[in-house]
Amino acid sequence: MWPFSTPKPTPPGVIIRNVLGEQIDVVEGVWDLTNANLRGRQWPHADLNGMSLDGADCEGINLFGARLVKTSFCRCSLRNAELSFSDATGANFRDADLDGCFMYRSQTIQAQFDRARLSFYSDIPDVRIILF
């Protein structure tokens, strides 16, 4: 590396806001939430409309009452996550791990669950688990 080259910029982080627009958290050191470590974050009533959390580790995350319209959770780990009373209309859960994910009374109209990993403990509206 040339001694006078400019250093790479530090990612500013992503500000997480609730549905009222108030800042509730900052994910430091990232450009976006793709492949981010979000394990155990407490984001009740967060507004994540249209965001991409593809490949993120969201195990145990609390998104109670969150706005998740057209949010992408492809290849995301949502094991034991709390998404009850959230609006996940048009959200993409393709290839996501939803083992133990609670979505009680959530809106999942037009949401995609293709190849999502579910278990007996998954609570997804209008999705039935059939055990053989």
- Among 37, 33, 44, smallest CA distance to 102 is for 44
Q: pTM surpassing 0.85? A: yes
- The whole-number pLDDT of residue 82 equals 97
- The whole-number pLDDT of residue 122 equals 84
| pLDDT tens digits, one per residue of 20-79 | 999 999 999 999 999 999 999 999 999 999 999 999 999 999 999 999 999 999 999 999
Q: Hey, where are the domains in the chain? A: 38-127
- The whole-number pLDDT of residue 130 equals 59
Superfamily of domain 38-127: E3 ubiquitin-protein ligase SopA (2.160.20.80)
pLDDT at 1 over 60: no
